[in-house]
Structure 1
Amino acid sequence: MSDVVVGGGIVGLAVARQLLIQRPGSTVTVVEKEPAVGRHQTGHNSGVVHAGVYYPPGSLKAALCRRGVALLREYTAEHGIAYRELGKLIVALDADEEKRLGDLHERAAANGVPGIELLGPSGMRDLEPHVHGRAALHSPQTAVVDFGAVARSLADDVVRRGGQVRLGTAVRGIRQSGDKVRLGTSGGEIVADRVVLCAGLHVDRLAVLAGGDPAPRIVPFRGEYYRLTPQRADLVRGLVYPVPDPRYPFLGVHLTRRVDDTVDVGPNALLALAREGYRHHDLHLPELLGTLTYPGFVRMARRHWRTGVSELAGSLVKSRFAAAARRYVPQLSAADLLPAPAGVRAQAVDRDGSLVDDFRIEFSRRVVAIRNAPSPAATSSLAIAEHIVARLE
């Protein structure tokens, strides 16, 4: 049996490793267009290991996040990778948010999130003395990790188990022919029995090459971050998050202490001008035109254009970004924020303009495509791999 995994991010590497665990001695090749693994979503995130608070019970996200946390904690312990359970406070600022906080508590309990607890102002201050709010939901086992380090360790595992990781190899064509899949790549043709597409920002394009549906389409959203100055990093001990608002498609600005003790503030959510558009001026005109002319994007933009304007204003005016964070940590000012690297989220959007919420994994005869894997995909990566490989076998 010969398997090819396209994409050298944390999910693709986890799938390759699981294939080798399931079938020792089989031929497994990871194909990655970049010169190193984990260069995109895996290496451009806040490093949060989510506990499973937000996701609808019974969804793939809920099940695979909880399983993924257990597997990731075990994996990092075995491989000496720092894993810190700093805990998360989801903070309600008014009565309406406090009611939604109660709903989140019920959802978290249904998902089996351990140690979850509702707190009042005094309980919040015990954990985060500088955080202001009316009430909070505390998730003590929410953790942080360096997902890039996890990806590099997974790549080493793949090679150690007899697999290959081919870097600098871009996939340009996919053709299913009889009982084989033929991949045209920048390094020549690769013939496989099965192919798993874990290509993140480019997975929709590759899925179409393999004969899949054009929808959902990946729409790239750039998430911009600031970082607290070292002198102000002690204002946040762990993770401080807002209560999700169902009217808006993204969570909003929050504060996250990372595994190296720096504290990130963000992200916002702006339409990226390229699928790998990490900077304001990164523009790929064909990709941008493809997004703007996609009917699903047009419908989504009509619904959420006010949110888009607000996010753009926060991006252009640092004081507005700081004001969003100051709602939770009143001592913060714009002078406390330093620029930090941005990330790009590969968000799948359906034809009707709805953002695909759950993980979406399409199985065909010989090609599997992970069509939507936003957060908590990194947290869930080892469990996603189990799920896919079990279905393949």
Structure 2
Amino acid sequence: MRTMQSHIAGKFRGWMQAVVAVALVSVVAACGGGGSSSSNNSSTTLNGGSLPASPTQQPIDPNAAANKANTVPITVGRGVNGVINIPTVSVTVCPPGTTTNCQVINNIQVDTGSFGLRLVSSVVNTASLPISTLTSGAQLGECATFADGYTWGTVRTATVQIGGETTSRAIPIQIIGDPAAGTVPAKGCGSGSAENTVSDLGANGILGIGTALTDCGTTCSTASTANTYSNYFTCSGGTCNRATVPLNQQVANPVANFATDNNGVIVQMPPVPDTGATSATGTLVFGIGTQSNNVPPPTMQTFTTKGNGDLNNSVYNGTTVQAFFDSGSNAYFFADSSLAQCPSNYAGFYCPSSAQTRSITLGGESSTRASVSIGILSASTLFGNSSNYAFNDLAGQIGSSSFDLGLPFFYGRHMYYGFDNGSQAPYVGF
């Protein structure tokens, strides 16, 4: 997840995904062409340049009777702190083993680039949510690392409800900024500023629903790697050490733990105008091919991935890059020296003098390849209307080895994420 504050702030943050090592046991076949904006030759001219035609898929109605069981509305708007392109849902957390004495938490960011539910401590009463401990009795804390800082908090367990779905067991979640976590580890907890508040996150929490089932996997459950790379800690007397944590105690993808509709998600966002919109309302659908409302179309373009959902064999400007579809990023982020960067008031974003189109060839673990085109408008032009919070053509700078297809790519599309659940290889598609 990579997000920049707007309209008056200028702060990047990026979610560093835990790498889950998996063996692909099957190949998901591509069906050709669905949703690629490059297949439409019409264009819109802006600022003397042109943009590719925007995709036009509409989300299904989450309030329709047939859809209520496995959907929840997604809202993009001003949110809790005026951050642009933050898709949010409401989440309900309950004490383990019950669906009473529950708390509804609004403005939780939908993040397909991370895994697990994380709530800021100031918005949740944790008294009924027990802290996770290892067999030794040591209390678990977790440090999640961002590009410009980190979060630190406890691991607690809760039953999680989203829309009409409920986890079949109490699952581990992270409580960001939980005072019970104690002192931040002196070593191994990232650098930069703490990101432990609603103001810093731009949301009340993060709902990680990417392709992995837990946020660290075998990296943290295997002692030889956990000793160096684990994001989990046990602390005593002010000293914290990395911990080896079994898979069932790691912060877990809630959707993968639903009783039904638990094999993946579909993020559906409506089209928005090229110059932005004040808000946008989409739908998060649970399950793929499990209900009449989540059957993939025959034209869907599908890419198998490794456990973290990245497209490691993508190509941009002749260079192999790691591409990923990340609803938790509020812009496209990639390196392109031909695009002018913005002045300091919008540092990190691109500000080309005219509308631009760029194309990337997407490639996952199978032989499937597909070219898609994206549009880019100057951030200073887009931010000229301070009441707009939904943008489909905002872009910014990132390292040359990555290509982040953030929320702008989602507008007008149905984005599919198949989970790495043992019965299928992880995949992404649209």
TM-score normalised according to structure 2 size = 0.24
Which structure dedicates a bigger proportion of its chain to strand? 2
TM-score normalised according to structure 1 size = 0.26
